């Protein structure tokens, strides 16, 4: 049976580059690994996890899906399970932004014009992850806001373009989510989070001033700063 994906993982699956080897790092239950294998669009799907428990769950999911022929399950930390250049798409879903940044920073081969597409579904701190991507020379090819289990997520596809991308508060907060249905609700949520962040900053800090200006402009334009009920 092909596993059903939630909206996060379904969006991530749509962003993988067909015809490439895909590595689903932190595969846990293995639903995305098995789903991708069942599509027949990828020569190999590598599912990897830091811990043996999740990896055996993934093995069971793949077996139930009956499409294990192109699946390779590996135990290990981050991209250490891959040879440099081995995957053309790397998925990191359901991890904190910080963990995703640490995993990617440890694999320099990812930072290359012919390097892999990154498909990222951070569990936290979307703006921090976008800022890191821009600074590191990645452009967002997609940035889809989706709801799953009552939470909003941003599902990002990032390609290395070789030079740092413009870094503004707006670009970090919203990325390209405004191009999708759900973008307005996602933006309201991000503004709500921004107000929380502001409370921890001193008035004189440049970030505090940028946030004040941004929120003031949003309110003046009648934009909500929390999710509509």
Ligand X SMILES: C[S@@+](CC[C@H](N)C(=O)[O-])C[C@H]1O[C@@H](n2cnc3c(N)ncnc32)[C@H](O)[C@@H]1O
Q: Which residues bind ligand X (CB under 6 A)?
A: 9, 25-28, 48-51, 54, 77-78, 93-95, 99, 103, 121
Shortest spacing between CB 221 and ligand X, in angstroms: 35
Whichever of 84 and 164 has its CB closer to ligand X, that residue is 84
Shortest spacing between CB 162 and ligand X, in angstroms: 26
Whichever of 5 and 141 has its CB closer to ligand X, that residue is 5
Q: Could you write out the DSSP letters of every residue in 43-88? A: S-EEEEESSHHHHHHHHHHHHHHT-GGGEEEEESSGGGGS-TT--S
Torsion 92-94-96-99 (CA) sign: negative
Distance CA 210, CA 168 (A): 10
Whichever of 25 and 194 has its CB closer to ligand X, that residue is 25
Site of tokens 């069942």: 38
Whichever of 56 and 99 has its CB closer to ligand X, that residue is 99
Q: Among 94, 132, 129, 125, which Cα is nearest to 190's?
A: 125
Shortest spacing between CB 53 and ligand X, in angstroms: 8
Shortest spacing between CB 26 and ligand X, in angstroms: 3
């Amino acid at each position: 049976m092909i596993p059903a994906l939630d909206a996060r993982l379904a969006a991530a699956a749509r962003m993988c580059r067909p015809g490439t080897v895909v590595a689903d790092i932190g595969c846990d239950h293995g639903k995305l690994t098995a789903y991708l294998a069942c599509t027949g669009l990828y020569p190999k799907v590598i599912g990897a996890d830091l811990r043996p428990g999740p990896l055996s769950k993934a093995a069971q999911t793949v077996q139930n899906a009956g499409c294990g022929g192109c699946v390779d399950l590996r135990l290990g930390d981050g991209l250490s399970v891959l040879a440099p250049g081995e995957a053309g798409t790397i998925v990191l879903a359901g991890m904190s932004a910080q963990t995703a940044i640490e995993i990617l920073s440890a694999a320099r081969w990812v930072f290359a014009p012919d390097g892999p597409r990154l498909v990222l579904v951070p569990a936290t701190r979307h703006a921090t992850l976008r800022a890191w991507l821009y600074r590191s020379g990645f452009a967002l090819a997609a940035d889809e806001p989706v709801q799953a289990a009552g939470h909003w997520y941003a599902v990002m596809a990032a390609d290395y373009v070789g030079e740092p991308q413009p870094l503004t508060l707006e670009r970090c907060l919203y990325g390209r989510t405004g191009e999708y249905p759900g973008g307005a609700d996602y933006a309201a949520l991000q503004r709500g989070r921004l107000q929380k962040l502001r409370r921890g900053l001193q008035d004189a800090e440049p970030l505090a001033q940028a946030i004040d200006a941004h929120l003031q402009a949003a309110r003046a334009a009648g934009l909500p700063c929390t999710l509509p009920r």
